[in-house]
Structures are given as C-alpha cells and as structure tokens.
Amino acid sequence: RNYSKNTRISYEAALSSFTGFLKERKLSVNPPFEYSRSVMRDFLVDLKQRKKLKETTIAHRVFVLRSFFKYLQRKRKVEVNPASFLISPKKRKSLPSFLTVSQMEELLKLPPREDIGGLRDSSILELFYSTGMRLSELADLKLSSIDFDRELIRVMGKGEKERIIPVGEEALSVLKSYLDKRNSDLKDPTLVDSEVLFLNPSGKKLTSRSIARIVKKHAQKVSEDKKTSPHKLRHTFATHLLDSGMDIMAVKDLLGHSNLSTTQIYTHVTTER
C-alpha cells in the first residue's frame, strides 16, 4: 500500500501489543486462531484499564487488528475475523493547540544566531512556521530539496506523496547562514557536502527526536504548555494562515492533507477572521 515508515512502525507496535497480551495468557500467536469474543474484549479492557492508553491509541489498535485478520481472511489463513465485532472507543474531539502571533514572533527570536547551534535551531523553527511541514518531512530534508532562487521546498509526505511548498525569505536567509557556518565548522570535513540538511555536531543526520527536543526547549519559554511539539507549530502555521484570510483549499494543499475534512478542524480555532 506504499505506507510511510512511521505508519508501518505503528502497525507493528499494535500487533506486538496484541501478541504480548496473548503470550501473557499462554494463547497461540500463530494460525489457526481460536480467539473468543471474551479474549478480544479482554484485550481492549487491558489496554484501557491496565495500560491506561488513550481512546485514539485503542481505536488505532482495533483498526489494525481488524485489518490484519481481514488480510489473513483474503490469504485464506483464517475463516473468521475475530476482531470484526470489536467497537472502537469514541475519540474525544479536541481542537488543535497553537501559538499566538506574538508568541510565535517571540519564539523565532530566541535562538542566538551567532553560533552553529543557534543558527540550526533558528532554521528549524523558521522552516516549521514558514512551511507547516511535518516533523518527519523536515527531518528528511536534503540540500537538493531547497530551491533558494525560486523560494520553494520539495518535501516527501505521507504515502511518498511529493509536494512543493513556498518558503519565506527570512527562513531561507537563516538557512543559508546555517549552511555556510555548518560547512566551515564540521569536525569531519569529508561530511561537508553531505546531502542531509540538518546535522548534529558529529556530522550525522539530526533525528526526529532531537528536532522535537529542540522545538520543545525553545517553545517552553514562550508558552505555558510544557508539551509543545513540532506538530503544534504545524497547527500554528495553518491557524495563522486562515486567520489572515487564506482559502482553506490552499491551506489543505500546503499541509498535504488528502481530505478537506482534516483541514476543516482549523476553522473552529480561527478567531481573527
């Protein structure tokens, strides 16, 4: 199905959770499966009461189990889908959290632009706010992804879907300064021409987890929300654009959403417009 790496990891985690549950109860993890409704129901109870997982996580695991056994049915490994009767818990509808314009302006001024670390952090924050891209998309950026002359960035989104996003002059200016400093400061000169855009001090690719930590470190200084993440900057990007009067279809394309319904949640949080 051409799913992204993160989707595949989440599917594997869901199935591993189920097999772990079965092993605890000394039940078979291989075909033929003989799971009663009570076994499947106990699994959901275990997720909610013992592991205290959120409704969204439990709903995802139900979906994965249904999909998995449906696949096994197609392959004629099983006759019955034991997960077909499971009912997903209702997801709580929560509005996306975002930073105000003044908070965002303050955040962008925080990293010092005199050293390589500050320039890198500043470039990351500027790109998130200027493009609204996902964390995984930013982490995978390459030098060839940036078109400085035309002020565009090419990103590879979910399902390996490519999209072109315009990027602001300020973000590009900071990024240029970072690349100049990076190439002269790298400890290993053989990595100067590395295709990876954001590197750690050792010249290796900056991981998604490290980027998230960088965002959180700076964002906590302008927001009381201690869980501020790169995704909150994506919410901020979309909300500010809609507040400024941008057409929702344009915002949908910039975010790389497949369905307009995913983008429409932002119409509930825009206030200025």
Q: Report the catalytic residues.
A: 134, 158, 231, 234, 257, 266
Pair 146, 14: CB distance under 8 Å: no
C-alpha 247/C-alpha 77 separation (Å) is 49
C-alpha 140/C-alpha 123 separation (Å) is 14
Cis status, amide bond into 112, omega within 30 of 0: no
φ, ψ for residue 150, nearest 5 deg? -95, 0
Pair 108, 125: CB distance under 8 Å: yes
Pair 170, 130: CB distance under 8 Å: yes
Pair 158, 262: CB distance under 8 Å: no
Residue from 211, 221, 223, 227 nearest 94 by CA: 227
